[in-house]
Amino acid sequence: MAHIKSNCPKWLSTAVFYQIYPQSFYDSNSDGIGDIPGIIEKLDYIKFLGCDAIWLNPCFESPFGDAGYDVSDYYRVAKRYGTNADLKRLFREADKRNIKICLDLVVAHTSIEHPWFKQSCKAEKNKYSNWYIWNDGTYKPVDKDLRFGWIRGYCNRDANFALNYYWCQPALNYGFAQPDSKKPWQLRVDHPDVKAVRKEVMNIMSFWLDMGASGFRVDMARSLVKHDPGYKATSQFWRQVRQMLDKDYPNAVLISEWSCPTQAISAGFHVDFMIQINEKVYNYLFRMEKHRDVLGESTDEGYSFFDKQGKGDIQKFLDRCTEHLRNTKGKGYISIPTGNHDTGRIGIGRNQKELEMVFAFIMTMPGVPFIYYGDEIGMRYVRNWVSKEGGYARNGSRTPMQWNDSKNAGFSKAPALKLYLPADSAKNRPNVEKQTANQNSLLNRVRQLIRLRKNSPALCADGSFTALYAKSKKYPLVYMRSDGNQRYIAAFNPSKYKVRADFTSPVGKTIPELKAGWGTDLKIQGRKCKIDMNAVSYGIFKL
Ligand code: GLC
Ligand code: CA
């Protein structure tokens, strides 16, 4: 069994990530689509914000059936974003500013346009026949267990291929953990063709790491090996990848879209998002009642905790969170992002104060925070979307970054109709320029919160976390973060009601110093603490 070192690259422990959706960030050549030279022009903004790492959504050649999550050439930057030389320049320019760039590694599936898949479609056997999952006859019953189903009758090869997501995203073949002996097309995980696919993944990673990338966010990281209970065989593969990194690229990081940090960190990842699928973190914490069904998901997960209605249940979230923190301690990190290109935006239905509170929470929680572009100015979810590149409801969160008051919000000089997606048309749409000038803007508050975090080891990824007041269906939420003698108490009352709570402090008498927030009165006497909080208030106190 591959063995992973438990230490993470040091830079991760203080990192604050910024997620860039390249097509919507900044268009440098006025064709209506954001691009890599555009990102380079905006690096100083990211520095100004205080972030020191970037997750870049896929920027590789693709027919864009799923916005680039359908790669047709892993070794080439998509023309619309620039060239490999541009990406290399981005790595260099970012490095000058001490910013790391992590790419999106989408290797659970390719595009149907990928040359490997085109070869695989051929009736004659060839090197790539087994690189994808095919059954052995178009008219044979297909295997219902595979999550995303099968495509039938696509080409002359007399077989159906397995999907990993949309119809245009055939699953690469990582083998079957428990192949059915009656179905010889279910290859074992050590089949030479499966091994060849795995080897190729490592080649792709080395290619970009050698060029200057600092790591990867791995798309659908657990959807590799099929019929794999507990993701054991899939984890085994990632541990081999991690071994390669530890040996050849010890500063590189692996971030997973797995949604179960306990599993993902033991599979060798350094960071895993607590969002979607299993964790529903976004729903528990940030998703407002009003936009519950924006992404068409079920509504059984209840109310957001960060909602004025005050009907949320922080306990549900904290139970999961503390379990993952315990299981991953010293080995890797959880991540609570503000959102991403697949979720609604936190800006839905929240005013500036409520948004600041969400940021204050994220910037005082353990793990590695991620800010989705535009959330720092409170960009809205744009409702009247027409689907683009397989985005559907997700398009509302993928609109152009709003830089200033000029045409297209300063995103592009192209005619509005040529934009990748229309910019938010609201008259008072927030923008970077206006908020930079206003000391009390969300943007400037977020900058202060990031600075506070980065200057306080207790608030960074490794500081310990203790819930002081966290009760089912009750407000507020109060917790302590500490590192050595440094201690902070953070308290949140997103509800529209005044609240009071009594709890015990783990440290003796001190006079708490308010570092951020408003409307919160914290008294510590001996070990007894009393907190009084106004409606919609928070406080971060240094003890
Ligand atoms: C991930 C991506 C999403 C994409 C899907 C298929 O969930 O975040 O945008 O559609 O994988 O690659
Ligand atoms: Ca462009």
Determine the Cα–Cα distance for residues 34 and 79; give it in Å rounded to an integer.
11
Here the tokens at position 87 are 């990406």
Q: What is the pLDDT of residues 87-122, one digit of tens each?
A: 999 999 999 999 999 999 999 999 999 999 999 999
- Separation of 384 CA from ligand 1 center, angstroms? 22
- Residue scoring higher pLDDT (473 or 32): 32
The whole-chain average pLDDT of the chain stands at 93
Q: Which residue has the higher pLDDT, 290 or 56?
A: 56
How far away, in angstroms, is 69 Cα from ligand 1 center?
6
Domains 112-171 and 464-542 share a fold: no
The answer to whether 531 and 537 are in contact (CB under 8 A) is no
CA–centroid distance, 29 to ligand 2, in Å, is 5
Question: Do residues 394 and 383 lie in contact, with contact meaning Cβ atoms separated by under 8 Å?
Answer: no
Ligand 1 and 220: CB distance under 6 A? yes
| Cβ of 66 below 6 Å from ligand 1 | yes
Ligand 1 neighbour 228 (Cβ under 6 A): no
Domain boundaries, the chain: 10-108+194-454, 112-171, 464-542
Which ligand gives the minimal distance to the CA of 398?
A: 1
Q: Tell me which ligand sits closest to the C-alpha of residue 81.
A: 2
The predicted pLDDT at position 509 comes to 65
Residue showing tokens 């699928």: 277
* CA separation for the pair 4, 16 (Å, rounded): 24
Cα–ligand 1 centroid distance for 502 (angstroms):
44
Q: Quick check: 283 pLDDT over 70?
A: no
Question: For atom 12 of ligand 1, which residue has the closest CA?
Answer: 69
Question: Alpha-carbon distance 75 to 532, whole Å?
Answer: 56
104 lines ligand 1 (CB under 6 A): no
Note the pLDDT tens digit of each residue in 204-251.
999 999 999 999 999 999 999 999 999 999 999 999 999 999 999 999
- Between strands 215-218 and 100-105, the pairing is parallel
| DSSP β-bridge partners for residue 60 | 77
Owner of token pair 């070990």:
527
Q: What is the pTM of this model?
A: 0.96
Determine the distance separating the centroid of ligand 1 and the alpha carbon of 250, expressed in angstroms.
27
pLDDT in tens, 351-405: 999 999 999 999 999 999 999 999 999 999 998 888 999 999 889 999 999 999 9
Between residues 319 and 159, the one the model is more confident about? 159
pLDDT tops 90 at residue 143: no
Q: How far apart are CA 22 and CA 372, in angstroms?
A: 12
What is the residue with the minimal CA distance to atom 9 of ligand 1?
Answer: 342
Q: Find, among 91, 88, 96, 79, the residue nearest to 44 by Cα.
A: 96
Which H helix or E strand runs over 529? strand 528-542
Q: pLDDT value at position 299? A: 43
DSSP classification of residue 134? B
CATH code for 10-108+194-454?
Answer: 3.20.20.80
Quote the ligand 2 centre to 83 CA distance (angstroms). 12
The superfamily (CATH) of domain 464-542 is Golgi alpha-mannosidase II (2.60.40.1180)
Question: In this structure, which ligand is nearest to the CA of 38?
Answer: 2
With cut-offs at 50, 70 and 90, classify the pLDDT of residue 470.
very high
342 Cβ below 6 A of ligand 1: yes
Region 494-520 average pLDDT: 92
Q: How confident is the model at residue 51 (pLDDT cuts 50, 70, 90)?
A: very high
Mean pLDDT of 467-474: 95
433 CA → ligand 2 middle, Å: 21
- Whole-angstrom Cα distance, residue 100 to residue 55? 9
The residue ranking higher by pLDDT, 403 or 281, is 403
Give the mutation target among 57, 69, 335, 372 for probing the ligand 1 site: most ligand atoms within 8 A of CB. 69
Does domain 112-171 match CATH 3.90.400? yes
What's the rounded Cα separation, in Å, for the pair 356 and 443? 9
507 — pLDDT class (breaks 50, 70, 90): confident
Q: From 62, 70, 220, give the residue whose CB has the most ligand 1 atoms within 8 Å, as the site to mutate.
A: 220
pLDDT value, residue 291: 44
Q: What's the chain's length in residues? A: 543
- For residue 268 the two structure tokens come to 């060798």
Residue nearest to ligand 1 atom 4, measured at CA: 69
Identify the band that residue 62 occupies on the pLDDT scale cut at 50, 70 and 90.
very high
- The span from the CA of 518 to the CA of 184, in Å, is 65
DSSP label at 53? E
pLDDT reported for residue 510:
78
| Contact criterion met (CB below 8 Å) for 333 and 271 | yes
pLDDT bin (cut points 50, 70, 90) of residue 288 is low
Is the Cβ atom of 69 under 6 angstroms away from ligand 1?
yes
Q: Is the pLDDT of residue 295 over 50?
A: no
Mean pLDDT in residue range 11-15: 97
Cβ neighbours of residue 24 under 8 Å, at least 6 residues apart?
A: 34, 373, 398, 399, 400, 401, 411, 420, 421
d(CA 76, CA 59): 8
Instruction: Using pLDDT thresholds of 50, 70 and 90, give the confidence band for residue 296.
Output: very low
Write down the pLDDT at residue 2: 44
143 vs 534: which has the higher pLDDT: 534
Give CA–CA dist 283/167, Å, rounded.
27
Identify which of 354, 326, 327, 325 has the alpha carbon closest to the alpha carbon of residue 338. 354
Task: Determine contact, residues 346/338, Cβ cutoff 8 Å.
Answer: yes
